[in-house]
Structure 1
Amino acid sequence: MYISIDKELKSVIPDFKIGQIIYKNIEVIPSPQMIKGRLQLFQESTYFDLENANVNDIPSIKEWRQIFKATGKDPNRYRHSAEALFRRVKKQNYLQPINSSIDLNNFFSLQFGVPIGIYDCANLSGNLNIRIGKDEEQYTGLNGRINSIEHLIISEDNSGPFGSPFVDSNRAPVTFETKNAVQIVYLQPSTSIETANKMVESLMNMFIQVHGGEGEFQIIN
């Protein structure tokens, strides 16, 4: 499964880059105590860090807000998923365990301060493309609503858009039945390739430690 970045997106955000991880033969399980404990402790620590701080001033959050502006989406109305997580933590509306995959995804999204999506390959077809959403494009999101994805950065396969740093569609979520998955890390454009490799590899290694199977990653820019 190959991921490409659309030329229009690269012209708007020249340094745009993502991390792609392909997992095979994994086993998604109820989150072990190690993940639940780390996620809870990290949220509590982040809450104290944010007590006298503005979420918008976090460098990674600010950079992704600027990306939304650059593609034509109001970041005050459409908050990227990492910002949404930080705002939940600031309100002490802490994340509750869902499954090992989603919980690890949320943990690393908070740690890196960037949106991360993970998808069941069984519900995707062909190669993937990252582009800017077209006028009037929409899909049903994991939030249960019809979401406008025009002017957002979106991920698509042969069947159309399925994911976004804003909210993913309900077409390919990872469940307890998932065996093969693809993870997309929406890196800060300012992140160096060397740092990006270390970040994405650390995520992959932790994921495989919990879920078994095997993984392969690359940085695409």
Structure 2
Amino acid sequence: MLEATIDQSLHNKVPSLKFGMISYHHIAIGASPQMIQGRIRYFQEVLAVSLEEKEFTDFEGIAAWRDVFKKLGISASRYRPSHEALYRRIKKGDFLEAPHSAIDLNNFFSLEYQIPVGIYDTTHIDGPIQFKMGDAGESYDGLNGRTFSAEAKLVSADNNGPFGSPIVDSTRTSVSADTTEAIQIFYLNPNLSLEEASQLLERAAQMFTQVHGGVASWKLIDV
């Protein structure tokens, strides 16, 4: 398991901020099983109906992360937390189609737990990992096809700089069907208790390995 720390400046602004990290070894990524595809599709259909009657901020996880962005000085209207962006797609009827099973489950966890979740190929991470605010001039090629300016944004970084964020992740550490070693980062709802956060990570790890095989270990980073 890679070491991970939270920069003290983040705790000063959001004392309850916490992250979860699951490390996967010897996994096999491919097309999602029909059962998983059906479950994810049904979840999105139910969510779409709910979104017809609710505002985005009626969802506690979206409201919580908007508050985190506000406290960190990030504009939540200009830079959407990734889980809110997924909710907005579904509200428009643009249901999520993933290229493989790892992204399918990553999206499902993000929707179900109402938090940003990222999955990364461990072989492209030069640890340790630090959760911090991006420095001036830091940027990376985002999975959305655009250059992401990490400056003054919450990011996950290794020795080579930022590679992920609760906004958009980098192409440098993206997973593919060839990935066998991965880590998943959960940008947890700060309102969760440590027990609730631990249970969430344990459930996610079990579901992921049921689909992909391999072994998983997880830890909570809150200091």
TM-score band w.r.t. shorter chain: over 0.9
What is the Cα deviation at residue 218 of structure 1? Answer: 1.1
Other-structure match for 2:26: 25
1:46 matched to 2:43: no
Q: Distance in 2 between matches of 1:127 and 1:136?
A: 21
**C-alpha displacement at 1:94, in angstroms?**
0.3
1:81 aligns with 82
Residue ranges of structure 1 left out of the alignment (5+ in a row) = none
- The SS at the match of 1:198 is helix
The CA distance in 2 between the partners of 1:149 and 1:128, in whole Å, is 15
Measure, in 2, the Cα distance between the counterparts of 1:154 and 1:75. Answer: 15
Alpha-carbon RMSD across the aligned residues, in angstroms, is 0.9
Equivalent position SS for 2:190: coil
Matches of 1:218 and 1:50, distance apart in 2: 33
> What is the identity, as a one-letter code, of the residue corresponding to 1:97?
A
SS at match of 1:45: helix
Deviation at 1:161, TM superposition (A): 0.5
Q: Structure 1 pair 135/72, CA: closer, same or farther in 2 (3 Å)?
A: farther
- Hey, what does 2:209 align to over in structure 1? 208
Unaligned runs of 5+ in 2: none
Counterpart-to-counterpart distance in 2, 1:126 and 1:191: 27
Match of 1:195, SS?
helix
Task: Please list every run of at least 4 consecutive aligned residues from structure 1 whose deviation after the TM superposition is greater than 3 angstroms.
Answer: none
User: Within 2, Cα distance between the matches of 1:123 and 1:169?
Assistant: 11
TM-score (norm 1): 0.98
Deviation at 1:174, TM superposition (A): 0.9
Residue 139 of structure 2 corresponds to 138
Task: Indicate whether 1:188 and 2:201 are aligned.
Answer: no
Q: Percent of aligned positions with the same letter in both sequences?
A: 45
CA distance in 2, matches of 1:38, 1:68: 31
Give the aligned partner of residue 2 of structure 1.
3
Q: C-alpha deviations, 1:33-68, integer Å up to 9, x for none?
A: 111111100000001111111112211101101111
Query: C-alpha separation between the residues in 1 aligned to 2:98 and 2:147?
Result: 25
User: CA shift at 1:97, angstroms?
Assistant: 2.9
Take 1:134 and 1:80, find their aligned partners in 2: how far apart are those partners?
A: 19
The 5 A counterparts of 1:150-165 are: 150-165=151-166
CA contact (8 A) 2:29 2:101 kept: yes
Q: State the SS of the aligned residue for 1:53.
A: coil
Of residues 131-140 and 72-81 in structure 1, the stretch that sits farther from structure 2 once superposed is: 131-140
**Other structure's SS at 1:42 match:** helix
Q: How many residues were matched structurally?
A: 221
Give CA-to-partner distance per residue, 1:5-25, whole Å, 9 cap, x none.
111111111111011101001
* 1:97-176 pair list within 5 angstroms: 97-176=98-177
Alpha carbons 2:138, 2:151 under 8 Å: kept? yes
In the TM superposition, residue 126 of structure 1 has moved relative to its aligned partner by 2.1
